[in-house]
Copies of this chain bind each other. A is one copy, B any other.
């Protein structure tokens, strides 16, 4: 299990608003099996087996082109831990526990 975040930015879209494009990418996630995801203000966080997550992101990356974008800049950040189980909720909880102690 890996925790991954992704941003997908179409370039040359005339409008500076990207929410319609982002929503189009998230439609791929709504139907996807084997992953969980959450939208944050700066990226979409996806949790699951790494190859499955990357397959889903590959489909997300294609969506702005389908909507007519000529260029897409996609950034994928993978946090992959094999020495123990890593989850999105566990990462946040571990920091919050440390923060509470201070």
Contacts and interface: CB of A to CB of B under 8 A. Distances in A.
A51 B86 CA distance: 27
Contacts of A41: 3, 5, 38, 45, 47, 88-89, 91-92
Contact of A82 (B19, B70, B81): B70
Chain A interface extent, by class: 35 or more
**Identical copies in the complex:** 4
Contact of A9 (B9, B19, B20, B82): B9
Contacts of A11: 9, 11, 13, 16, 18
Interface of A: 3-5, 7, 9, 11-20, 22-23, 26-27, 30, 38-43, 45, 47, 50-51, 54, 58, 61, 65, 69-84, 86, 88-89, 91-92, 94-99, 101-102
